[in-house]
Structure 1
Amino acid sequence: MTELASPSPGSSERQAPARAFAGRRRPQTLYVAVGVLIALGLLSAVVWKLSHAAPTNSYVTSAVTSGSVTRIVSTTGTVNPELTIIVGSYVSGVIKDMYCDYNTQVKTGQVCAKIDPRPYQTAVDQAKANLAVGKAQLQKDQAALSYAKSNYDRNAMLAKSNAVSQDVADNARSNFEQAQAQVSFDQASIEQRQAELDAAQVNLDYTDIISPVDGTVVSRNITIGQTVAASFQTPTLFLIASDLTKMQVDTNVSEGDIGGVKLDDKVLFSVDAFPNRIFEGTVTQIRQSPQTVQNVVTYDVVVSVGNVDLALKPGMTAAARIIIDQHDNVLRVPSQALRYTPKGTTRSGSDHPRIWILENSRLEAVDVETGLSDDDFVEIRSDGLKAGDQVAIGERTSATTPAASPRS
């Protein structure tokens, strides 16, 4: 028979507080668990709402301004003197002396170089000698003519009285006529030899290389001792610019742009030597001769420009902008404003160009009439805009979306 041990009075007193503490801890743990579940639920709701919310936009805007709208044709060209004289040689020979060099200021008729004249001087001397021989022969034959005439006159008189035979008289007449012919031949020979002398003198004179104009030597292609051969093609010895204070830019304009270029159009250009300086010129010539390079057709447009300070030098490369049209003091908007359309909107109800103005955080569509345009701006001729209005040209992601509404 088993006996159960009864608890002692002391152990009952220790277990009672433990059961009471365990009873209080269970409700607190439950509350914490419920609170965590609620917090997780709220966090999940926020995450779901943010992940499923429609993306919104904020707009990039630009102000309507008042200014100039300029249409240009961009091209490149080369700076050259307005008039460049090529000085060559008509005769061949060795350069004996040289009196001009780069940048030499020359006057009309000034000798710049000299070819060895000795061969040509010899030809002149020979021609003079031949001419002298011809003149002496003429004098001799003129004396013979005088005698033949006297003999003929005498025999003709004697023949009338039968003092001499008719054959003698005829022979005297023949000699007289031959003497006349010989004198005429001598005179023609003298003219021929005079022409030969003149030609030899011309060649001798060409041994002096002279400047035909006042100007500045911009190129020299010879040195002392060099042999110049002018047999087939005239060699270029010097290039002389008549006036370096007046320059021109020879530009190449494509066939797609040449239709808008006109005489007297204003031209702005720059050169690498002066990157911060803008030069101004005027279109003075549109040449009709086309230039075709790799199937690209261009036309030479000549731009005249003053060069009083001699800053521009021949051969410089110019980046030119030909102003073919310009409107000043007009309302203008960036070109992007006419190409931009807000997301979710459709174009309807008008065939006019449309821009979007931001007013009170809302976009309003405005139909406009446009004028001249360039690469950056478009002229606006409508009365619905004023300088300072903000027009949308793009958008980026943001928190809210302003409503877009059309405005007539």
Structure 2
Amino acid sequence: MSKQSGPSETGNKDTPQIVPFPTAERPVREPATQKRGAARHWAIGVGLALVLAVATIYVWWSVGSSPGIRYATVPVAIGPIARSISATGTVNPELTIIVGTYVSGVIQELSCDYNTQVKRGQSCAKIDPRPYQSIVDQGKANLAVAKAQLEKDNASLTYARLSLGRLATLVQTNAVSRDAYDNAKNVYDQALAQIAFDEATIRQRQAVLDAAQVNLDYTNSISPVDGTVVSRNVTMGQTVAASFQTPTLFLIATDLTKMQVDANVSESDIGGIRNGNKATFTVDAYSRRAFEGRVTQVRQSPQTVQNVVTYDVVVSVDNSDLALKPGLTAATRIIVDQRSGVLRVPNQALRYVPTGAALPEGKQARVWVLRDGAPAPIQVTPGLDDDEFTEIVQGELKVDDKVIVAEQQNSANARSGVPRPRL
């Protein structure tokens, strides 16, 4: 007899399960997945509501607000004004001497180099003197021959004078013929002429010798001044030729503690420059340092390059610390007029015109002052101006008045100080 089997402990998957009916003591619990889904739907709804609210506020601020204008002002003040002219120039020593040579030859000695401190009369270079020494020796010999010839002819002159004297006595007593006397007189006259010729020959040969000696001396190039060698253009063994022009061997600056700027000033600006005008300039080597000087010369000779006419203006400057070097490029500012303690406004204030306002008629000038939050025009008479400010000679302007120099369209958000929301 077989035993009837019942349900297993683990249960059969095909057998329906009996779910208890919910009671107060046993409530039915929802699954966890249903809870998470409900929370997600709730978060999405809240996020959409916030986005809609922010968008509504943004549209209200952007569309509902009216645009405004913000003014940039500068207070009227008392201060200096200096009108200036800008020019570019080159820094140079006040006096530069060219040491050259009048003779040709081979450089045999070099006793000077760059930056050498030299004294007047000091030898800087020497050309091989042997060819010129030979010419001097030949000239001396020729001069000696001429002098010897003079001595010989002086002896002949003495003999001719004595002979003529004796014959002059004899001719009076008819002891000799008149022809003999005339012949002696002719010999004497020729002796005198020969002496004159010999003396002229000596002078001529002396001059030739002097010229040869000068050329010999020129083989030794010496410094004519005290100074500093700033340039050397020859080397040992180099051949220099002085056929058509004097070769430049050295450039010597007399005093590097005194420099000058040779500035090129446009023809449109040259009329305002006078000797004594103050000037400042900068060089790239010392970009943060401003050097000061004064105009010492306005040269009359024009310089024309590609139909552009400029004039050289010399600005002298002290260089006691030897900071400035020859050849530096200088950005120069020459002050042509200046005043101190004047009422001044920025140049932008004279150019500013509010939006919608009419331009001033003719040569009238005016500025706009911010009063009660609105621009108010004031007629003024301008005076001296520079790159930044203009002097006010006449007008109802006072110190600390707020003159308008610019305006900017501004939204209501910027005026109210409330930051615009970002999406």
Tell me, in whole angstroms, the C-alpha distance in 1 between the residues paired with 2:120 and 2:398.
64
Q: Which residue of structure 2 aligns with residue 242 of structure 1?
A: 254
Tell me, in whole angstroms, the C-alpha distance in 2 between the residues paired with 1:102 and 1:185.
53
CA distances 1:360-405 after superposition (whole Å, capped 9, x unpaired): 32222222222111222112234633333222122222357x9xxx
Superposition TM-score, scaled by structure 1 size = 0.83
CA distances 1:204-263 after superposition (whole Å, capped 9, x unpaired): 111110111111111111111111111110111111111111111000010111111111
Tell me, in whole angstroms, the C-alpha distance in 2 between the residues paired with 1:166 and 1:326.
102
Cα 1:132–1:63 change in 2 (3 A) is same
Q: 2:85 aligns with which of 53, 73, 81?
A: 73
Bigger drift between 90-99 and 371-380 goes to 371-380
Aligned: 1:328 with 2:340: yes
Cα 1:51–1:96 change in 2 (3 A) is same
Paired residue type of 1:169: Y
Paired residue type of 2:260: Q
**CA deviation after TM superposition for structure 1 residue 151, in Å:** 1.5
Q: 1:165 aligns with which of 155, 169, 177?
A: 177
Asked if structure 1 preserves the Cα contact closer than 8 Å seen for 2:259 and 2:319, the reply is: yes
Q: 2:187 aligns with which of 162, 170, 175?
A: 175
Q: 1:151 aligns with which of 148, 152, 163?
A: 163
Q: Which residue of structure 2 aligns with residue 397 of structure 1?
A: 409
Q: 1:224 aligns with which of 222, 236, 241?
A: 236
Paired residue type of 2:309: V
Aligned: 1:279 with 2:291: yes
Count how many residue pairs are aligned between Structure 1 and Structure 2.
Answer: 361
Q: Which residue of structure 2 aligns with residue 194 of structure 1?
A: 206
**CA deviation after TM superposition for structure 1 residue 54, in Å:** 6.0
Tell me, in whole angstroms, the C-alpha distance in 2 between the residues paired with 1:343 and 1:142.
112
Aligned: 1:133 with 2:176: no
Paired residue type of 2:317: V
Q: 2:281 aligns with which of 245, 248, 269?
A: 269
Q: 1:308 aligns with which of 320, 326, 333?
A: 320
Paired residue type of 1:318: A
Tell me, in whole angstroms, the C-alpha distance in 2 between the residues paired with 1:354 and 1:334.
12
Paired residue type of 2:296: T
**CA deviation after TM superposition for structure 1 residue 164, in Å:** 2.0
Q: 1:203 aligns with which of 212, 215, 225?
A: 215
Q: Which residue of structure 1 aligns with residue 125 of structure 2?
A: 113
Secondary structure of the 1:192 match is: helix
Q: Which residue of structure 1 aligns with residue 49 of structure 2?
A: none
**CA deviation after TM superposition for structure 1 residue 166, in Å:** 1.9
Cα 1:383–1:132 change in 2 (3 A) is same
Tell me, in whole angstroms, the C-alpha distance in 2 between the residues paired with 1:175 and 1:185.
15
After superposition, the CA RMSD in angstroms is 2.5
Secondary structure of the 2:355 match is: coil
Tell me, in whole angstroms, the C-alpha distance in 2 between the residues paired with 1:350 and 1:52.
42
Q: Which residue of structure 2 aligns with residue 60 of structure 1?
A: 72
Tell me, in whole angstroms, the C-alpha distance in 2 between the residues paired with 1:146 and 1:111.
51
Tell me, in whole angstroms, the C-alpha distance in 2 between the residues paired with 1:54 and 1:325.
49
Paired residue type of 2:208: E
**CA deviation after TM superposition for structure 1 residue 349, in Å:** 9.2
Asked if structure 2 preserves the Cα contact closer than 8 Å seen for 1:350 and 1:367, the reply is: no
CA distances 1:271-291 after superposition (whole Å, capped 9, x unpaired): 011011000010111111111
Q: 2:309 aligns with which of 285, 297, 300?
A: 297
Structure 2 residue runs without a partner (length 5+): 1-55, 416-423
Cα 1:50–1:181 change in 2 (3 A) is closer
Q: Which residue of structure 2 aligns with residue 19 of structure 1?
A: none
Asked if structure 2 preserves the Cα contact closer than 8 Å seen for 1:284 and 1:302, the reply is: yes
Asked if structure 1 preserves the Cα contact closer than 8 Å seen for 2:378 and 2:395, the reply is: no
Asked if structure 2 preserves the Cα contact closer than 8 Å seen for 1:92 and 1:230, the reply is: yes
Secondary structure of the 2:146 match is: helix
Q: Which residue of structure 1 aligns with residue 379 of structure 2?
A: 367
Q: Which residue of structure 1 aligns with residue 136 of structure 2?
A: 124
Superposition TM-score, scaled by structure 2 size = 0.80
Secondary structure of the 1:234 match is: coil
**CA deviation after TM superposition for structure 1 residue 145, in Å:** 1.3
